[in-house]
Structures are given as C-alpha cells and as structure tokens.
Amino acid sequence: MERGLNVFIGVVSEEKTPTSEIVRRIARVEGVNTVYELTGNFDIMVQASSHAASELNKIIERVRACEGVVSSTTYLVLQRHDNR
C-alpha cells in the first residue's frame, strides 16, 4: 500500500459482463494500485491511494463510473499493521 490515504473499494459487477473486462477497466483508473477478483459479497476489490481526500474521492467516483459496476462500498484504511 502507498503512503497517504488508502482505501479498499468493494465492487459488485453486473452479471452480463465478464468480470475480467470490468477489472481491466478499473485497473486503468489513475490512483488504483491493485485490483482483485473475489468470491463472496463483492466480485472485485480495489486498493487505491492518494495524498489528498479530494483526489481520493475522484478516484472512487471514476471506479464507480466504470461500465459494468453495479454498486460499491468504500473502506478507508485507518492504520496499517505489517507482519515482521
């Protein structure tokens, strides 16, 4: 994860579009660091970061605007704990 503000965005995708296509669209959004394809409540998990809240909001809006995204839930990282 990058320094600054970090979020995870859980994405529900539409069923008619292959998840891999939606993942490719999301991965092209500037500020997105990693995109995971999942099982469970979310189809996709996105990790994104920025140094400013206003820029982070723009990243989230761009992810939500990607074709094939039905809904999203954003989680702000408060603190990171590394295994050492």
**What's the number of domains the chain is made of?**
1
CATH code (residue 23): 3.30.70.920
Q: What angle do CA 49, 46, 28 make, to 5 degrees?
A: 80
- pLDDT of 37-80, one tens digit each? 999 999 999 999 999 999 999 999 999 999 999 999 999 999 98
pLDDT of residue 60: 97
Indicate whether 82 belongs to any domain.
no
Indicate whether 22 belongs to any domain.
yes
If 0-12 CB within 10 Å is exposed, 13-18 middle and 19+ buried, where does residue 48 land?
A: buried
Q: Which residues span the domain enclosing 60?
A: 5-76
Q: How far apart are CA 2 and CA 47, in angstroms?
A: 10
Indicate whether 83 belongs to any domain.
no
Indicate whether 84 belongs to any domain.
no
pLDDT of residue 80: 86
- pLDDT of 7-27, one tens digit each? 999 999 999 999 999 999 999
Indicate whether 33 belongs to any domain.
yes
Indicate whether 21 belongs to any domain.
yes
Label residue 1 by pLDDT band (50, 70, 90). low
